[in-house]
Structure 1
């Protein structure tokens, strides 16, 4: 794994050297700048993961450098921790209002500095990996969290959630309304996860596909709550005429008008205390097989591993989504 890159902007040579040594010993790659102009040049070229920015520097002070860093698209989203001997409320506000992510007063505690750097690295990674539509963790985070749970050896459950007839809805109403449907399901998943114990994880694979990781004992109740909430919310996403007749008319691949029912959800449930799973690809394959089976069952459905458990709500006959 590549080392995280930290750019130090500090004009005092001894403090800069101490910081450099501490950060290298902590496993970071370190780049140094001795004034505000140099930090701007280096930030553009090396794209650090975090910048430690001293306030009092020659040529351009920390506040001016901060303003320039935030004005450039190339450096706008780099986490910046301000380092200063000043600790007045006005100084802190100047840094935060200018776009600093954090503020540390000299003399700082080494462990506190490392904690703040790691917090910023974690926040930055989450922002990069998040789905831009829902703000939920994306595929990289989903895979990492799933592999972590597999590696722990503790049983867990994976629920893969997919909207049925979403393409027809999206084609009929357009992308903005499609995005609204996806965001509706996203909120339902987050709410359900918060209702069933701690340690649940919700991720957005992409499009209308989501993942929820939980414990085996909560999984079925979670799935049923998602089904109930989406069944209640979905009709309100349609225009009154379509809602009353229970379908939308959309041209199929043969350019023929076809009736597609109101959206439902298919949930594939894989619990590692019932299915022997040793790696991520195997878990994904089982979930995909279950989801394919669930797509053939009318209405919203929760399909358990080996098809031992199926919970569905009655609805119109399914068509190809």
Structure 2
């Protein structure tokens, strides 16, 4: 993208009164069998921007998880629990689903439900008549524990460093060929300092959504992680590198100008003052993607790949504009 390119569009900056009331959408995946608990959940999350995504099997739930940053999975069953039991077990085997709190509600008094819920590793079980106050407290405590304990980045709802390492090591042990792509947003610190964390976080969320949509559209069983800040990891087949990286760059470069005020967008850059009261000029945000290919058992653990990716990323970031660079050498 040329720095002088002019994009005509309405200014995107949210006015102060709207900024104070803005809150993230709470995404709840819901399975119901012979029961309707939507009104009860709406009352429990009163004040939240609650959106339900309904599913009837594990495949549909997986697709939902890849499309939306799910906060909670609720399975409510009145009657035979067999299908739900199998669905929960399958969900817990999926990495992206296993990090989302999963709650079961069963209105009956079947004593076996406790054992079966424990067996399938549900995160919380509500049994009997709906106790609005009690269930609300337990549910919100579960969500707080989940956000505190799991290695999930709160901005992007993507797996964090520990889960990235786990996936990379698993692929290395499997002896499969794959590519690890390390994405970094160029000039992000300057943007974040200039516009503030509120808008910086919106850029992080936008980037996460771009990577999520493109990777999962082209590689349904791919992996995406968020190291932290403006650093992302995605793992794909090595023969999809050019297709995926070029599409991510094209989409990012097309959308990112609309994350600037109109006057900055017209200039194609931002101008800030440093602590010495000197002007500093920064071009529009771009992205650098360092790509490391693992073939024929080239690496023995994730640390070796991490070291090479960090070096390659530094070199890629020196190039102007958005770029991706592929390193096919073995470890050094």
- For the aligned pair, the TM-score class normalised by the smaller chain equals 0.5 to 0.7
The partner residue of 1:108 within 102, 112, 117 is 112
Q: Cα deviation per residue 1:191-227 (whole Å; 9 max; x = unaligned)?
A: 1112212211111111111000111111221111110
Which residue of 169, 176, 179 corresponds with 1:147? 169
Structure 1 residue 174 corresponds to structure 2 residue 196: yes
> Which SS does the other structure have where 1:133 is aligned?
coil
2:255 aligned partner: 233
Q: Deviations over 1:116-147 (max 9, x none)?
A: 326769x9868722111111111121111111
Query: Residue 278 of structure 1 aligns with which residue?
Result: 300
CA contact (8 A) 1:275 1:305 kept: no
Structure 1, residues 224-255: CA drift from partner, whole Å, max 9, x if none? 11100100011000001001111101124644
Give the match for residue 212 of structure 1.
Answer: 234
Q: For 1:143 and 1:100, how far apart are their aligned partners in 2?
A: 24
Is residue 192 from structure 1 mapped to residue 214 from structure 2 by the alignment?
A: yes
Any conservation in 2 of the 1:156–1:271 contact (CA below 8 Å)? yes
Across the two proteins, how many residue pairs are aligned to each other? 219
3-state secondary structure, aligned to 1:101? strand
CA contact (8 A) 2:103 2:123 kept: no
Are residues 118 and 270 of structure 1, via their aligned partners in 2, closer, same or farther at CA, if it must alter by over 3 Å? Answer: farther
Change (3 A) 1:253 1:211: farther
8 Å contact 1:82–1:100 — kept in the other structure? no
Which residue does 1:94 correspond to in 2? none
Change (3 A) 1:303 1:256: same
**How far does residue 108 in structure 1 lie from its aligned partner after superposition?**
2.9
SS at match of 1:132: coil
Give yes or no for contact 2:175–2:297 (8 Å, CA) kept in 1: no
| Mapped contact 1:150–1:278 kept (Cα < 8 A) | yes
Hey, what does 1:60 align to over in structure 2? Answer: none
Using a 3 Å threshold, how does the CA distance of structure 1 residues 223 and 111 change in structure 2: closer, same or farther?
Answer: farther
TM score, norm. by length of structure 2: 0.58
Q: 2: CA distance between counterparts of 1:303 and 1:159?
A: 9
Q: 2:121 aligns with which of 107, 117, 120?
A: 117
Note the alpha carbon deviations across 1:75-94, whole angstroms, 9 max, x for none.
xx9x99999xx859xxxxxx
Q: Indicate how the Cα distance of structure 1 residues 109 and 162 shifts in structure 2: closer, same or farther if over 3 A, else same.
A: same
Q: For residues 117 and 302 of structure 1, do their structure 2 counterparts lie closer, same or farther at Cα, with a shift above 3 Å needed? A: same
2:247 is the alignment partner of 1:245: no
Change (3 A) 1:192 1:253: farther
Q: TM-score, normalised by structure 1?
A: 0.60
Structure-to-structure mapping, 1:32-181, within 5 angstroms: 101-103=103-105, 106-108=110-112, 112-117=116-121, 128-181=150-203
The alignment status of 1:296 with 2:322, answered yes or no, reads no
Gaps of 5+ in 1: 1-69, 71-76, 89-98, 308-321
Work out whether residues 265 and 299 of structure 1, in 8 Å CA contact, stay in contact via their aligned partners in 2: yes
Partner Cα separation in structure 1 for residue 102 and residue 153 of structure 2: 24
